[in-house]
A = this chain, B = another copy of it.
Amino acid sequence: MARYTPPLRDMQFVMHELLDAESILKSLPAYADTGRELIDQVLEEGGKFCAEVLFPLNRSGDEEGCHWDDGAVTTPSGFREAWEQFKAGGWPTLTCDPEYGGQGLPMTVGIAFQEMMNSGNQAWTMYPGLTHGAYSALRAHGTPEQKSMYLPKIVSGQWMATMCLTEPQCGTDLGILRTKAEPQSDGSYRITGNKIFISSGEHDWAENIVHLVLARLPDAPSGTRGISLFLVPKFVPDADGSPGARNAVRCSRIEEKMGIHGNATCALDFDGAVGTLVGEPNKGLQAMFVMMNAARIGVGMQSLGLMEVAYQNSLDYAKERLQMRSLTGVKAPDKPADPIIVHPDVRRMLLTQKAWAEGSRAFACWLGLQADVAAAHPDADERAAAEDLLALLTPVVKAFLTDNGFASTNLALQVYGGHGYIREWGMEQYVRDARINMIYEGTNTIQSLDLLGRKVLLDSGAKLRKFGALVDAFVEEHGTDDEMAEFVNPLTELRQKVEKLTMEIGMKALGNADEAGAAAVDYLRVIGHLVLGYFWARMARVALDRADSDDAFYRAKLATARFYFAKLLPETAGLIRSARTGAAPLMNVELDWF
């Protein structure tokens, strides 16, 4: 009943008119050939796959779920066949290194494709998503032998992969993980322990599954400095690379969850499984963080994808559903009632979704460009500058987009009224699926502590000033432009408030570290608005430049920018007040007062 149309027009606007991705990519030798036509072509073809192959499996995958039988896991009907088609189309290789069989396209394109995959089917997309995460970690930290044995097969999709971090007693706090790795005389290790919440941990899609597992060596220091990363294949490859002996890793159950039912969330028992070390001993967390940072952006893309598809459907419904008359007079006299889109609050719910989705898309694609510049620019200073922006805003793209994604899919459900609560319309699935994104790959509280503590306060705001400089340059350029005043003025005001708030929290946190912890969640949302305010102002500028165009797209963009500044940005007023009240109202509460 639901539908999905890839938002190609908006993606083209962001890529070409807003960000001029082509010019930036041209400055990166590895991506110099990724011109506008190639980008458009990949997105068009990719979008078609997402809409035609992945999307039709979304509701059925949710209904059917995964099934566990004596250690084996079956995924929903059609999932595996879609993976075969995905491989046949070469999609797993899209942004991978040509050295291992990849097509070598930039992350900017990969991010836009991720959005569409998740609009099509988040649970399905997690299987290749985790595999790609493991690819990134292995490529950065694997030994030459690991790379040549595993990477070509992972890139092609012949083998798949997982990331095994969580254990029953440790989620956020990896310092207390217990899984053990015992060195063997042949240089390999025997891994023993229980991992839980392993997404895509077992399934029937590939002839082999490569687990990247965090574990402790016998002599490891306690805490996070004693964690190493190991590669543990489900089948230990023979010398010729074909899957050999079954390794001692077993899926002992899959979880019953609120959503993402099409993805197998596995408990994996390692019982002396054969593994090899990835990277240096006791430096497993650093190796894992290569994957984790990409995964955090990926989670943001999951929520962006859900926002977009839920928006499209609630928009259709609001145009079709007849209920009540407009307060300002009948709008559809030939019908028994007006379509609900005439009502102001239905418009608020629709425009909120639209503003979050389009603003997030601009932010995410820009962040993809920063990732590409950070990875591939010939100039080290340029790389470092982009790396700083990427590091600063990765927790923001994860937490801000996933909080908004949950709110946004809930608005889509609400537009449907009672029908939104019924399964067949599909909206409630988006809400259930979106909910996990606020939790995994580091809860949104952890993201906010990463932003405020590590990314902002630790370097005395240096990274934040780099983003601030972009805002300042924009304000400087358009600050005297009358038609931009409605965007530039609130952006400037917020920019100044952020500076003041950051200094204030920084000073307080010097005396009491809980002051940072108390302000962090509010602070991240404020920064999220600074970022989205900046991109909405830039989009408004582009739209104003095309105001004479016949294309309603630009008038729509301008109207959505106005909506954002009028109705969403004001949230910052309350957030800043709340943040400024500090830690006392939280910490001056005895345990038995709760």
Contacts and interface: CB of A to CB of B under 8 A. Distances in A.
Q: Of A345, A577, A584, which is in contact with the most chain B CB atoms at under 10 Å from its CB?
A: A345
A43 B388 CA distance: 59
A516 interface: yes
Given A417-B439, A422-B256, A327 B589 contact: no
Contact of A176 (B336, B351, B592): B336
A323 interface: yes
A512 B328 contact: yes
Interface string A564-594: 0011101111110110011111111111111
Nearest to A572: B574
Given A315-B594, A418-B440, A512-B328, A589 B173 contact: no
A25 interface: no
Contact of A520 (B176, B345, B573, B593): B345
Question: Does more than half of chain A's interface fall in helix, strand or loop, or is it mixed?
Answer: helix
A202 interface: no
B585 A577 contact: no
Contact of A422 (B257, B414, B449): B257
A421 B344 contact: no
Q: Of A323, A516, A555, which is in contact with the most chain B CB atoms at under 10 Å from its CB?
A: A323
A324 interface: yes
Contacts of A587: 344, 347
A322 interface: yes
A350 interface: yes
A249 to B, nearest CB: 20
Interface stretch (A116-124, A213-221, A430-438): A430-438
Interface stretch (A73-81, A164-172, A240-248, A273-281): A164-172
A255 B255 CA distance: 25
Contacts of A406: 410
B343 A517 contact: yes
A450 B430 CA distance: 29
A38 interface: no
Nearest to A348: B586
A552 B345 contact: no
Interface in A170-219: 170-173, 175-176, 197
A428 interface: yes
A414 B173 CA distance: 16
Given A257-B421, A257-B423, A324 B520 contact: no
Interface string A74-103: 000000000000000000000000000000
B172 A421 contact: no
Interface residues of A, number: 99
A517 to B, nearest CB: 4
B435 A592 contact: no
A578 B566 contact: yes
A562 interface: yes
B344 A170 contact: no
Contacts of A574: 570-575
A518 B586 CA distance: 35
A513 interface: yes
B593 A345 contact: no
A594 B341 CA distance: 10
B173 A323 contact: yes
A418 B439 contact: yes
A44 interface: no
B258 A432 contact: yes
Given A521-B345, A570-B574, A258 B423 contact: yes
The 3 A-B pairs at the shortest CB distance, nearest first, are namely A556-B593, A344-B517, A570-B577
17 contacts: A171-B323, A171-B418, A173-B337, A255-B422, A326-B514, A344-B583, A347-B589, A350-B594, A414-B439, A414-B443, A417-B439, A555-B593, A562-B588, A566-B584, A566-B585, A568-B578, A570-B581
